[in-house]
Amino acid sequence: MSSFNIGRRRVGIDVAPLVIAEMSGNHNQSLERALRIVEAAAQAGAHALKLQTYTADTMTLDLDHGEFFIEDPASLWAGSSLYSLYEKAHTPWEWHEPIFRRARQLGMLAFSTPFDETSVDFLESLDVPAYKIASFENTDLPLIRKVAATGKPLIISTGMASLAELDETVRAAREAGCRDLVLLKCTSTYPASPENSNVRTIPHLRDLFGCEVGLSDHTLGVGGAVAAVALGASVVEKHFTLDRAEGGVDAAFSLEPAELAGLVQETERAWLALGSVNYGASQAEQASKRFRRSLYVVRDMAAGERFDRNNVRAIRPGLGLAPKHLDSLLGRKARQPLKRGTALDWSLVE
């Protein structure tokens, strides 16, 4: 397993995690707002901007009853038909090019999640540098094969998928030509709770499938993402909006600009803090060694006077003998007169 590039951005555990700002439907059907979201994401330090590419007709049927209607009162989208929800949330295809162009101008990667084969063809026409498969499509093997056949890096969210299903998905992707793969631990509830996030799965995914791993995070805040990086995540995806109070289909579990900036900063700090297995004083700690405890004369002593616990103590700083030598020193004689505050070394001892 090795790191790889998406565009000019390296992805892997040897570099800081890639932070993806997911716009989803938070543009509220305004291109002007969508472009402001792009600008805010770039200003916050996100490395990539992601869209979702579908139409209501490619997602479902225009029916408003039975399984096509969201009745669950706990759902953010209760009272909507699937069709009306996707009508409200979709990003018009003619917006993709100006959104992607603005993201690239601001130094971000720009790509999308396709939800059917026509959207893959469309995104190929825009020469996206990578693809993302959503959790709800992670068992759609024909779609996964279509995307994998482009040969571009593929990021797959693993929400709801059993281990057997993930094995099928990864095999399908690799057999169709995918070389650069990232699996994202994901909990497909909106929002998700920390206790249901199970980010300890992340290193297990890496071990099982030999690929890069990360987190698609629907929890509130950044704690889950920081924990994921500590467990080896090289990609973190979060939904993003300008202001949750302004609404939007996914606003309730989206980060605002200051929060996204915090996510970028704290995930990079977490990655930096991992370092490597290390014992002893690091280079940065060398100067601090002088403030360890060591053995000092704490009362003026005459030549030939014996060292005891009244005239020798282990104190700071650390320029004398190490405290471990105290027992060996006690009862021995001073070679010369010693002033209070003298750092002891063996040349001063008979």
Same domain assignment for residues 248 and 166: yes
Q: Which domain holds residue 331?
A: 283-348
Same domain assignment for residues 102 and 144: yes
Same domain assignment for residues 245 and 294: no
Same domain assignment for residues 15 and 164: yes
Same domain assignment for residues 133 and 41: yes
Q: What is the pLDDT along the chain (350 residues), one digit of tens a residue?
A: 579 999 999 999 999 999 999 999 999 999 999 999 999 999 999 999 999 999 999 999 999 999 999 888 888 778 889 898 888 889 999 999 999 999 999 999 999 999 999 999 999 999 999 999 999 999 999 999 999 999 999 999 999 999 999 999 999 999 999 999 999 999 999 899 999 999 999 999 999 999 999 999 999 999 999 999 999 999 999 999 999 999 888 899 999 999 999 999 999 999 999 999 999 999 999 999 999 999 999 999 999 999 999 999 999 999 999 999 999 999 999 999 999 999 999 999 99
Same domain assignment for residues 108 and 207: yes
Same domain assignment for residues 160 and 295: no
What total of structural domains would you count in the chain? Answer: 2
Same domain assignment for residues 176 and 224: yes
Are 48 and 113 contacting, i.e. CB atoms less than 8 angstroms apart?
A: no
